A and B are shown apart, each in its own frame.
Chain A
Amino acid sequence: MDFWIRGSATNNQGMEAEQQKIVKGTSLWRDAWKRLLKNKLAVFGLIVLVFMVVSVTIGPPLLAWTTGLTADFIPADSDLLNSFPPSSGHLMGTDEAGRDLLARVLQGGRISLMVGIISTFVSLIVGVSYGAIAGYLGGRIDNLMMRIVDIIYAIPYILIVIVLLSVFRGPNTPHWIAWMSEKFGGAGNQGLSQIFLLFFALGLVSWLTMARVVRGQILSLKNQEFVLAAKATGVSAFGIIFKHLVPNALGPVIIYATLTVPSVMLTEAFLSYLGLGVQAPYASWGSLASDGVKNIAIFPWQLIFPGVTMALTLFSLNFLGDGIRDALDPQTRKF
């Protein structure tokens, strides 16, 4: 979808191309982009994130191709009693089983970032639809739907995730999740379907605030005349909500989504730390840190590298989220 509003180019005949350049208008999104680029922290965050995404994407195959090290490769010559500190052979050292830590951090980054993105995406879909429908319908239905949100809010979300993960793990894994992990990583891949379950469990608890944000937006938009005009041309309620109202509420949704990503990642790390999240042979930054903390006195690099990488990413995401919020908020505009 093309949300980027084009600048106007008045094309009256007789007007020169030169004039077109002058008339070229600015738009909400272009303004916001300019303001974002002025925010040093946000730019820093953006650069770090791009670097992270690129390295976790091309990093593991590149590393395997150049050095033969992968996340689950245990070298024959490794001393299982010792973990090697960082060296030219292992840039981040090795873990307690002798696996290259860099390869594992990169592999874990894939999972951690995917948790952040997919769970946010799930929460985006659920939250936006739920909030938009509640806000648009209004009245009793709205009241009922938002009270349900309040109730779920009141239950500690970690508890819900733990219950979801415990109930649906192992043989009780829903078929579609098993199907997805099969498509992704081959049949009978229990560890992977656990990760997919984690994505959806986290997504399903983080849509609540999104629903509230969207509902608020829709409430303020639905009485505008263009909605009545759309109704008068025979557009259905579904069309009005998703074609006319949701795009108008996109600013706050984007802001909130960028801030959801780090919070979901942190939750995943916490769950992995508790042993409920990602399980071996898969790794996430959270599970790596959890493994590392056991040996912190003797092999500190096992905690430091995944920890620092994760902290850096979370900071960057928060900086970027704040930056986008400031850039899109008209009250902080500086001209």
Chain B
Amino acid sequence: MSIPVLEIRDVRKAFGSELVLEDISIAVPEHTATVLIGASGSGKSTLLRCINLLELIDDGIIKLDGEEITSVETDPDVVRRKLGMVFQSFNLFPHMKVLENIILAPMRVHGLSRDEASEQAMELLKRFGLSEKADQYPDRLSGGQQQRVAIIRSLAVAPRLLLLDEVTSALDPVLVNEVLSTVRDLKDQGMTMVIATHEMGFAKQVADEVCFLEKGRILEWGTPERMLENPSNPRTKDFLQRVHEAGRL
């Protein structure tokens, strides 16, 4: 087996005296998707932000393609060029049109010319059925469209690994599906992903591995079938029961 794209070992993170991640260890092989589930505040988002070096970890090691990215010598900008991240709140740049949002990083970070970057961006927009939105400002788009643009923006730099942080939580139920099917397409095309989500049905479809987090610890992990249908940990059962009652399963 080749080295995993992402390897997290014994990661720990505290905000002040509050421990938010403890003994986290995950390996994500190429072309697989690892889904993080757990209640809000369980540490899913923090973990993704740590991988992206938006937060500094307090202990442990994170490796990308076998190389440690958490050493003091690492240049975070270089690491982030290989990662894509999509946020719960889209975070599109409101002063830029859709196309400009997408070509910003390819042009400024990867040195593509405006034409090259635009051509590539238009291809992506076309692939995801958003070509006619290229010249619009983000606030003219629906939430689902905005989130899909955000996904395209993160894809435009051809990342090794895509981090998705509850990408459907800010959307109304009708729009959730268009975003999820976009993510499913990516998975089919072999994108390696770490996904934090509350959508259990979606988790079952895309995940190769599901990790259940509670209070900053991974309590249980395994295949989606086992985790979502027959979890062994009573806490996982309890969580899934509550999700089920909320009508999300």
Tell me if chain B binds chain A.
no
